[in-house]
Amino acid sequence: MLKITRKVEYALIALRHFQNQEKDKLTSAKEMSKAYGIPQELLAKILQRLARENIVDAVKGPAGGYKLAVDPKTINMTKFFEIMEGPMGIMDCYFDSGCEQLQSCNIRTPLNRINDSIRSMFDNMTLADITY
């Protein structure tokens, strides 16, 4: 309940790694997977996702790898989570209006309020806040 996924966790580890490094130094999925004990294929897929979203740059070939493509300050966490995992809401009906309970539902409003609080909390954070 209210858990972050490993996908996000690994992505954050990777991004933090880049921030701790010389700006344009490349790190390969392999290196990084060893360093942090993350399954290589999985981490690779995550880095690929980040590359597709232009959060990191990818360089192919031997001695290739990834590096940060943007200033982490410019990416807010809500957006980041949604890039990685799709719509973020404590319940599905926040987005998906096909909820069966909807007619009789007596907690929609308060739950939406909670949702808004969580979202705005993450709206006010950027990837850079994961640095410290």
The site for ligand FES (CB under 6 A) is made up of 91, 93, 99, 101-102, 105, 107-108
**Please, which residues bridge with residue 126 across strands?**
76
Q: Is 3 a residue that touches DNA (CB under 7 A)?
A: yes
Q: Residue 77 and residue 74: Cα distance in Å, rounded?
A: 10
Residue 11 Cβ, how far from a second copy at the closest point, in Å? 10
Q: Residue 105 and residue 36: Cα distance in Å, rounded?
A: 44
Q: Is 70 a residue that touches a second copy (CB under 8 A)?
A: no
Choose the contact partner of 52 out of DNA, ligand FES, a second copy, none; CB within 5 to 8 A by kind.
DNA
Among 21, 107, 116, 123, which residue sits at the site for a second copy (rule: CB under 8 A)?
107
- The smaller minimum CB distance to DNA, of residues 29 and 75, is found at 29
Backbone phi, then psi, for 29, in 5-degree steps? -60, -40
Phi-psi category of 105—alpha, beta or left, where left has phi over 0 and alpha has psi -120 to 50? Answer: beta
